[in-house]
Structure 1
Amino acid sequence: MTDFSHKPTLTGDLVVLRPVTEADVPALLPLFEDPEVTRLTGGHVSHDEAELLKWYGSRGAQDDRLDLAVVERATGKVVGEAVLNEWDPDNESCAFRIAFVPDAVGRGLGTEATRLIVGHGFEALGLYRIWLEVYAFNPRARRAYEKAGFRAEGVLRGALLWEGERVDATVMSVLAPEWAAANRQAVG
């Protein structure tokens, strides 16, 4: 297994995933400003533009995570981000998260971006397990993760306190053998 220092460009039919930079911040600002995106991702902390410029400007130097901008091929616009993080090299595991600006949802971009980055995690990085958490009030994301091969493992009850209400989070994962079997079936 290698580390995450190599920042690839991954190309699909609908999207290109490429290393994210500070130049992407203006396009990604809606992720941090839109109330619905903030709710669906459980984002309690607000970020100012200067803070985001510093954060995204430092992603290329990280060897323990992979932060990629999602670029819609049809328009050339940055419409989101896809991230492998929380790397656990001893267990060949990492977390996955993905987020899109509000006007980029519902067109299959997330499904393809998920497949590209998860495939990279298994096929190029040698991961065994990729996991995520999805909140109960985000069934659209859960369906997208299931389409990409993720399976529910359990529920973190009351994991998020959102506007006075406790919200459960479902832990989901996909394992390398499952990914390989699904992709053999898709090809064969």
Structure 2
Amino acid sequence: MSAVIDTEALRAQPELTGENVVLTQLDETYFEPAWQAVHEPEGTRFTGTHATFTEEQIRTWLSSRPGLDDRADYAILRKDDRVYLGDVVLNDVDADNRSASFRIALTGPDVFGKGYGTEATKLILDFAFDVVGLHRVSLEVFDFNPRAQRVYEKSGFVREGLQRDALWWDGEWHDAISMAILETDPRP
């Protein structure tokens, strides 16, 4: 395979449909649920987010997502009623090395454990490898989030390393686990 990725696929960002979720372009129309999500304590802990955001920062960030050719920011919607469940992102796209970073954030405990994150992860990995042409997708997950680690392993990510004491949270240090999946790895 050539070392060229399809940046037009990133820019156009087609809707991705699964059995229970739909991934669609993240933009300012999702401000209200995204604003609520950045204030959800469990979500901020799982992402290690110390920052406090203003409404204007979130609106500006959301409105800047469409049309980018170096990342893909998707809203995760429940398929049957199109309720916002979170977002999933391919970012830090490195075209020369056909690689990107991955992150996902669900809106909170009311949607955890229902398979939405697993399905969204699989959909975006299929897009990353089969459409965009990436070779490698990597992530970091904190040691206090074993549920996410299981989702990533179930999706084909392989543990590659440990960043010791990478996050200071609530008075203690936590490790970050590095994981990645290659286009040649099995995708369940």
Q: TM-score, normalised by structure 1?
A: 0.93
* CA–CA separation in structure 2 for the residues paired with 1:160 and 1:35: 16
In the other structure, the counterpart of 1:69 is 75
| Partner secondary structure for residue 12 of structure 2 | coil
Q: What residue number does 2:139 align with?
A: 132
**Counterpart AA for 2:173:** R
1:162 Cα deviation after fit: 1.2
Query: Hey, what's the Cα distance between the residues in 1 that align with 2:36 and 2:46?
Result: 13
Secondary structure of the structure 2 residue equivalent to 1:52 = helix
* In the alignment, structure 1 residue 117 sits paired with structure 2 residue 124: yes
Residues 28 and 79 in structure 1, CA contact (< 8 A), matched pair in contact too = no
Q: Does 1:13 align with 2:32?
A: no
- Residues 33-182 of structure 1: pairs in structure 2 closer than 5 A: 33-102=39-108, 103-179=110-186, 182=187
Q: Distance in 2 between matches of 1:131 and 1:164?
A: 28
Return the alpha-carbon distance in structure 2 between the equivalents of residues 36 and 69 of structure 1.
Answer: 19
Counterpart in 1 of 2:30?
24
Q: Secondary structure at the match of 2:75?
A: strand
TM-score when scaled to structure 2?
0.93
8 Å contact from structure 1 (residues 40, 135) kept in 2: yes
Secondary structure of 2:11's counterpart equals coil
- The alpha carbon displacement at 1:136 in A equals 0.3
Q: Which has the higher helix share?
A: 1
Deviation at 1:129, TM superposition (A): 0.4
Q: Deviations over 1:11-37 (max 9, x none)?
A: 001000000110101012232101111
CA distance in 2, matches of 1:137, 1:37: 12
Q: How far apart in 2 are the matches of 1:76 and 1:160?
A: 34
